[in-house]
Each structure stands twice: as structure tokens, then as C-alpha cells.
Chain A
């Protein structure tokens, strides 16, 4: 039993089954669907709220999630707690199998763009902005739309899923070309 946890990688089909069953549990016992990206909105709202609560509460998008001044919604709620514990879950999993990494510049990126940490971090930061912008425009990310929405057969989610893959493939090929395959 212990040896399973020490294994660095599990079969993707086993992991997919595990995530599928986890979603049964969240739907049935918690009345929730797995998701992540709304937490970025709550965090942004909370950080901006440290400077000016009036400003945050005058924004219709933040209002949807954080509630009004008179009736504020909790910030540290179900999904926020989920996102925080994602770090701990992955930490424990990697610790058990001694597969922790300290990757700052991935090999593929280094092959294409050089070993500058600063460039990679700037790229990751800007890409993070783009990712969440897309997620919020679509209404969810890979977990909320892709998995939770996909399994509910939601029209919105399948459109998102197909567009995500198409765009990801095109972008990766534009960035890395055919030679990229030899570096992942």
C-alpha cells in the first residue's frame, strides 16, 4: 500500500478516475463543482480591498463574488480553501515519492529562449495574466469548465475545451516548432 504512494507517477487513467470520483463526492456531499479560477478573482478583490474597499465594492465583477458592503460574502470559502490545499496536496505527493523539483527555467524554454530566469519569470507572469483573462471571459478554467463542465455535458464547457486545445496546439507549435518535440 505504501509503495503506491512512493511511486513518482500514477497511470493517467487511474488519476483521471480519481478526479472523476472526487467530483462525485463534491457534487453529492458538498453541492459544489471542482474549480479554481474564481479564487483568483477573490484574491485580487481582497488585495485591492486592502487599499480601498469602496473601490472594490463599486466594481460589478467583484460584487458578483464578494458581495456588497452591507452583505459581504466570505472570501475564504470552499474553493479558496481548495486552492490553498492544492499546494499542500501536491507538496505531500511529491515528498512521498521524492520527486520534488526546483524548476525555474524549463528545458524546452531554455532551448528556445535561453536560460535567463528573468525572461522566463516575466513570460510566466504575462502568460498568467492571459490565462486568467481567458478563463474569466469564458466563465471557468480547465477544472471548472474542462472537467466539471465537461462531465455535466455543458455546451459552454465543450466549446471552451475544444477552443483551448486548438489554441494551445497552434501556440505551442508557433513558439517551439517541430524541434520542440525533442526537448519535452
Chain B
């Protein structure tokens, strides 16, 4: 198990550079703060939604754009198991509202100095161990429900990805506009 502990140095270096930039951005964005994340769920502070929607729109234009231009870029789609995805999201959201962090922001929050993020991350490691224990049961009883493989919205509907990206862009702009009006009202 520990014989092959390290991946090759290039892989580790690339992951490290990515993590450094990601952590830097998360902290500058303010999402390493409990108050910002819980503030989002209380619909007072919309930073989380702004960052996520912007990243999704920018990311999708780039990834699908590069593919359209003929670059050889693989997609990394996670399997669809409708019940697992939905139930997992519901459980995750509840935990995130109590913890005030998601996994990435909790780890970054430790870097910013947050003390309570430390027991949060330790809990995550323990949680991963517990999940491994119940995985055989989960696989047999939950992950087999609504299992439609690595589906994307374009692959399911047969429509071009660009329709969805356009719709996302319009939706994001609408939401950002609505948020801006809400924020103006409060001032």
C-alpha cells in the first residue's frame, strides 16, 4: 500500500500548482469564511452563487470551445445514479450549512487560520472511512436506482451543448441582475 505512495513528480507538481491557485482564489473570494457560506444559505450574502455560476459559465465556454476547435480534451463526467446524486446532495447541503464549509473551502480555511475548520476536516476523513464501510450496501440498494451512466444534458437530449451554455449564460445574467437589485435594496 505504501510501496507506491507517490505519483510521478510532474503529476504531484501540477496538482500542487493547481491547488495553490485554487486556494488563493477561494480565500480572495471570501468563501473560506463560515459567515459567507452560511450567509448564502440564509440568502443574505450571494458570494457563493456568484463565484460558482461564473466559474461554471466561463469553464463550460472554454472546455466545450476548445473541443469544438478540435483540441483533444476528455470530459470527466461522473456517473448518474439519480437517487444517489439527489440524496447525496441533500445530505451534503445539510452538513455544509452546519459546518459552514464544503470540503475544498474547509481545507483552504485552515490555511487562512480558521480553527473550527480543523475538526471539520478530521470529520471528513472519518466520514470517508465510514462511507467505505457501508459502501457495499449503498451500491446494492441506492446507487442502482436511476442509474443512467455518464449522462450529460446534451447526450440525454441530443441538443447541442451550446444551447445549454447559452441558456446557462442567460440564466446566470438574470440571477446576477436579480441579486444586484436585492443588494441595492438593502443599502
Contacts and interface: CB of A to CB of B under 8 A. Distances in A.
B18 A22 contact: yes
Contact of A82 (B22, B40, B47, B106): B22
A137 B98 contact: no
Contacts of A82: 15-16, 18-19, 22
A142 B15 contact: no
Nearest to A76: B6
Contacts, number: 542
7 A-B pairs with the lowest CB-CB distances in the bound complex, closest first:
A128-B123, A138-B88, A16-B54, A89-B23, A20-B58, A163-B89, A167-B93
A36 B55 contact: no
A133 to B, nearest CB: 5
A45 B20 CA distance: 24
B95 A130 contact: yes
26 contacts: A12-B51, A16-B29, A16-B51, A20-B55, A36-B102, A37-B124, A45-B132, A59-B135, A85-B15, A89-B22, A100-B112, A101-B33, A101-B112, A108-B38, A121-B116, A121-B119, A124-B99, A124-B117, A128-B124, A131-B96, A132-B123, A153-B154, A163-B89, A163-B90, A171-B98, A184-B45
Nearest to A179: B42
B85 interface: yes
Contacts of B125: 40, 43-44, 47, 132
A47 B129 CA distance: 9
Given A30-B14, A81-B15, A19 B22 contact: yes
Interface residues of A, number: 140
B27 A17 contact: no
Given A36-B104, A103-B113, A129-B123, A16 B131 contact: no
A76 B12 contact: yes
Contacts of A148: 59, 76
Contact of B153 (A29, A57, A155): A155
A10 B51 CA distance: 11
Contacts of B60: 150-153
Interface in A41-87: 41, 43-49, 53, 56-57, 59-62, 66-67, 69, 72-87
B103 A101 contact: no
Give the most central of A12, A24, A143, A157: most B CB within 10 Å.
A12
A168 interface: yes
Given A37-B128, A139-B84, A163-B93, 11 more contacts: A72-B4, A88-B19, A89-B27, A101-B113, A124-B119, A132-B128, A150-B59, A153-B152, A157-B78, A160-B89, A163-B85
